[in-house]
Structure 1
Amino acid sequence: MVTESPRWQRESLIAEIPELQWQQPCLAESEQWRAYRQFYKLDFAGLEQVSHFAGLLKTSGYDIAVQIWRQPGARGTALLVHGYYDHTGIYGSLIEFCLRQGLDVVIFDLPGHGLSSGERAAINNFQEYDEVFSLVLQQVEVHLGGPLYLFGQSTGGAISINYLLKRQLTPQQSPFKAITLFAPLVRPKGWTKARVLHSILSLVIRRIKRDFNPNSADGRFLRFIAEHDPLQPRHLSVRWVGALRQWVSFIELSPKCDVPLNIIQGDADNTVDWCHNLEILSQKFPNRQVFMLPGGQHHVVNESVENRLKVYQQVAKWLNLD
């Protein structure tokens, strides 16, 4: 990640994003977009035939920023769902991995994140995420080539899990060829204490100043998001924690689902309660596969180069696209 001041502005970039037209999406080739890609290192060397598109999708009261990378002869489409506090710009390693696997890529900023509208890092109910995700998925199924491959990091994993359990899909009904989740959220670490604090704090405040806790072995990435990324939220929304409380109860009471899952989890993750989460996911998804990343922290797609290599080697093995 670079550390110089950006030569693009969030408001200016959003102002020039048109409504998304899937059949003829708008190329993201303005000066603002070129500066955005350079800032987040989204100009991928050796992938000159890849085209980058962007558009706004209006749904559930939000303007959702959708970005699409397409290439000639794609063998399918990857749908990426980012984590809490995150946005498309910091998912370059996963976008590039999918492109080099021969897949087109669709990724969108969640409500209140990145270039999408909404109060920063806030949500009333996790089912709002589901509404947005479901519409994007529906449009991808109609307009882009299959098979579809789903990737979710942390809260993006939670949204993926919610989609499957809410609908009680069978493997035959699943729209996905494969689903890969990185450090999926069920409960965060310290959940019991967090619930007590939320019950008290929700009565008097709306947000808490965010602590940029280490969640990756890549020190450069950690410095970038804490000091240089203009799209990083600076507060934890108390409302988001309330929505999470409702969602955790819903997920942990849901019946099991037979759709296969691939899960990658670091054993040094101090963001989610990963031991509890893997136990719950083993109950809900008996057809899951788990790859433990020794020393891996929470932000799996932005781990150290060495750890990312291990992760993507495992994902490539699961996808078997060679």
Structure 2
Amino acid sequence: METTHAEETLAAPGGPTLYFQSWRPVAPRTVVAIIHGIGEHSGRFRKLVEALVIRGHAIYALDLRGHGRSPGQRGHLLSWSEYREDMKAFLETVAQREAGRPLFIYGHSMGGLIVLDYVLRHPEGLSGTIISAAPFESVGVATPLLVTSARILSRLWPSFALKVPLEAQALSREPSSVADYLADPLVHRACSARWAMEALDANVWVKAHAGELSLPLLLLHGEEDRINTVEGARRFFEAVRSGDKQMHLVPGGYHEPHNDPGNARVFQVVDDYLRAFRA
């Protein structure tokens, strides 16, 4: 299938100029906007992108501020609302490019939290959301030491850089995927003290408002995710009151369903979800 790939930038109102990529088949069925997790970037979704584009879906993927090829201190912001502003600018750009096509948003890991925080406030213009391995209950990152340090430093030194204690081997059961992550020069393992506190507060807010989610939801999670627990995903799913929801658990799966063995089944589940859309 003929596909075009583009690398561009957009200006977030009052914020930095952000990098994003797009991959388009000739006549897309639907459009998927991808938001990555902490410390990574838009280029880490190659397998997912290839699987969806060949099935006829256009993909747009953003590098959040402080990540990848976008500017800013790595893993830093002053308020979670900055992500909402970036998301708004990104989605408006995508919607203008793809007017008339169903638009879905896909958030992985911390990107899932960013997406849920946004769509709970601004579901307009979106056809559905896909949330992968979101940090409803984190065990590998939000350690007691990190939380305590962040709480103190967030007030005294907001930009102070903390090391995110993320276990690379817990990302995927595929050794080559872990090796790619460790060798990627655009990956970082830092967050600021203020970012850590804003993320914790956003997580509390999102879980408290789960029952208000109005968009169709597909929740993806590995059953053996050691970074964000599957129990947290189950509890969030149960709290969503909408009947238009589904959950796909990857047997034995680690943190990245799109980079884990058996990802072909995950891609098919996502494709089925996108194709099921009816205006």
* Offset from partner CA, 1:108-132 (integer Å, 9 cap, x none): 1011111001111222222211111
- 1:272 corresponds to: 228
| Two-structure CA RMSD over aligned residues (Å) | 2.4
Which one of the candidate residues 64, 82, 98 is aligned to 1:144? 98
- 2:135 corresponds to: 185
- 2:109 corresponds to: 154
Contact 2:127 2:215 in 1 (8 A): no
TM-score after normalising by structure 1? 0.75
Distance in 2 of aligned mates of 1:291 and 1:230: 32
- 1:117 corresponds to: 71
> Does the alignment pair 1:241 with 2:196?
yes
Q: Give runs of aligned pairs for residues 274-289 of structure 1, distance below 5 A.
A: 274-287=230-243, 288-289=245-246
SS, match of residue 184 in structure 2 = coil
Distance in 2 of aligned mates of 1:267 and 1:71: 33
Larger radius of gyration: 1
Distance in 2 of aligned mates of 1:230 and 1:192: 25
Distance in 2 of aligned mates of 1:285 and 1:265: 19
Structure 1 residue 52: Cα displacement: 1.4
Structure 1 residue 65: Cα displacement: 0.2
Q: Give runs of aligned pairs for residues 46-125 of structure 1, distance below 5 A.
A: 47=1, 49-59=2-12, 60-125=14-79
Q: Give runs of aligned pairs for residues 5-24 of structure 1, distance below 5 A.
A: none
Runs of 4+ in 1 over 4 A off after TM superposition: 200-205
Matched AA of 2:139: K
Contact 1:260 1:285 in 2 (8 A): no
Distance in 2 of aligned mates of 1:186 and 1:99: 29
Which one of the candidate residues 206, 217, 225 is aligned to 2:181? 225
Structure 1 residue 192: Cα displacement: 7.1
SS, match of residue 231 in structure 1 = coil
Distance change in 2, residues 1:266/1:234 (3 Å): closer
- 1:310 corresponds to: 265
Contact 1:256 1:283 in 2 (8 A): no
Matched AA of 2:35: V
Structure 1 residue 80: Cα displacement: 1.2
Distance in 2 of aligned mates of 1:321 and 1:137: 22
Distance in 1 of aligned mates of 2:8 and 2:86: 14
SS, match of residue 252 in structure 2 = coil
Distance change in 2, residues 1:285/1:80 (3 Å): farther
TM-score after normalising by structure 2? 0.86
Contact 1:153 1:300 in 2 (8 A): no
Which one of the candidate residues 249, 253, 259 is aligned to 1:296? 253
Q: Larger RCO: Structure 1 or Structure 2 (Cα < 8 Å, ≥ 6 residues apart)?
A: 2
Matched AA of 1:139: T
Contact 1:208 1:238 in 2 (8 A): yes
SS, match of residue 40 in structure 2 = coil
